Chains A and B, each alone.
Chain A
């Protein structure tokens, strides 16, 4: 399916006149089986798009919460191959919810770019966000991924101007991920106004759906951003719930999955009703 599953999802959200919820969890956090159960429960809890972290030893753009999630997964011997296996298992019961992988380039590079794109598409992965591949390096992965029908979601940030955005969007597909703060994941809460101004500015030159993420932690915050963004990403706050429901040996408590999904439901509720409650802005 690839990029078309993502496009279909944004079309549906558009018809429903609402923003979408993108949830982030790390594949294999806290262990393969628990992570898979969470993954399978996400669409039912209201996730419109699933962002699945590929664990990496050196997550340079991530704050502590997601760094620790990577470490937990790697300590459980998670690998990129197992991440694909997890998605294959998910796809047995869900053909509609887009899954995008998020992570760093080295594991993909070592897997082999062409093999990875092929295997990932076959597994049911629709797009990728690779943090350390700016448009200057598009020929590494973005161009071959686009050619194969896999979305290559590019990032824009508070340091991005319109000229830079054009370069970013040249080989960007699926949606644009606007990083709301200059910083790593899971830190300060972003201000609403500059984020909206940035998106308004970007909309002047592109119609691609725009998701916002970094630092959005509560259903209330998510709802605020959902009044104007095409989708809202919540990551560290979900990962924190995983961390807080582990025993001393980092083994999942029996109600971990339920707690995560209950939080996702609240986030979804906030996002889905944002425009009814706050009114649709320009």
Chain B
């Protein structure tokens, strides 16, 4: 799919799933034959026009793609600098970019003859997207979700149940995304025969970081066509929030070989110098968790630490391995933004643009508020608006001291 120029940033991973030193396959032996089969199936699907056709048709007819590349006029005027576009992933069916990947993976699961789907979820967006595609294909679906996340994302929990999924609360560890992923892995080890694990982000053992990225590249591919149409040229910069990093990589990857600046915004929670943040690149170091080598938050004994962010979707102590690589080679700039700034940006975007963004994206908007004013008016910037904020209204109301 990508240019095989040796100097390309788009050739990773290598055949063992490495992006530089990151990535790999660090999983229990029980899972290995299955992981190898996922890889084999994915290779075949990637080269199968029928698979591509089915994927694209579902994205068009069911997800509602292409979604707009929207010129955020009032935010642009308010900040007085760069010209800001939003790639409107929040207008997808289910309200976030997560569905792109779920459509791709459930087609893979069916191709492999699997009959049961499991997934982890943090904010619930990936859980909802997974439950949705399972309903569409009539497959039983089990979602692992941290008890803490269930508490703060009640609307999404109810959505998943309406869609027919079983939501299992995870009460171990920090009761959030990383523990849900542990629990999903445990389920998978015990059900290798019939079960496919739809991982929600560009992490996990090879080939997940690659295949999730490829399915999400529809974001950047569309944005590229749309900006050429609107501006007659490529953008000067891209901005996206990053937890595991699937929306960011989906937007960035198709532009990696172009002269385009990229900023990925990590959740700094209470600040990267405190013990309450989720910025693995700004405040972590390379280690091994959930099947891959990547930057992680941990103590000096190698014990993984709990992450913190006001946004449940960014509340993960790691990041996809390709991001760790892009960070080390300096191709993408990773910047931390804390809870308070994200909250302010959440409100600003709602009032100025009539768009309530997901708290995840509010981190990216907050950085744009810092970056854009000093840039010239002909600087074209695209932000990945990866999800809608309806799910976050309870969290935001609580943070603002309002009772709803």
Contact = CB atoms under 8 A, between A and B. Distances in A.
A157 interface: yes
A115 B303 CA distance: 18
> SS class of chain B's interface: helix, strand, loop or mixed?
mixed
A110 B300 CA distance: 7
B192 A182 contact: yes
> SS class of chain A's interface: helix, strand, loop or mixed?
loop
Contacts of B33: 159-161, 164
B289 interface: yes
B29 A109 contact: no
Scoring A63, A64, A182 by chain B CB atoms within 10 A of each residue's CB, the highest score goes to A182
B28 A155 contact: yes
B26 A105 contact: yes
Contact of A134 (B25, B173, B191): B25
Contacts of A187: 190
Interface in A54-71: 55-64, 67
A60 B186 contact: yes
Interface residues of B, number: 38
Contacts of A159: 29-34, 192
Contacts of B305: 57
Given A58-B182, A61-B189, A182-B190, A107 B302 contact: yes
Contacts of B302: 56, 80, 106-111
Interface range, A side: 35 or more
A133 B178 CA distance: 19
Contacts of A81: 301
A137 B300 CA distance: 23
B173 A137 contact: no
B27 interface: yes
B288 interface: yes
A57 B303 contact: yes
A58 B288 contact: no
A202 B153 CA distance: 49
A79 B25 CA distance: 25
A226 interface: no
A56 B173 CA distance: 11
Interface in A148-189: 154-161, 164, 168, 179, 181-184, 187
A131 interface: yes
A154 B29 contact: yes
Contacts of B16: 136
Interface of B: 16, 24-34, 172-173, 178-179, 182, 185-186, 189-193, 285, 287-291, 296, 298, 300-305
Interface of A: 55-64, 67, 74, 79-81, 104-111, 131-134, 136-137, 154-161, 164, 168, 179, 181-184, 187
Given A131-B28, A157-B28, 14 more contacts: A57-B303, A58-B173, A105-B288, A106-B289, A108-B302, A109-B287, A110-B300, A134-B26, A134-B29, A137-B26, A159-B29, A159-B34, A159-B192, A182-B191
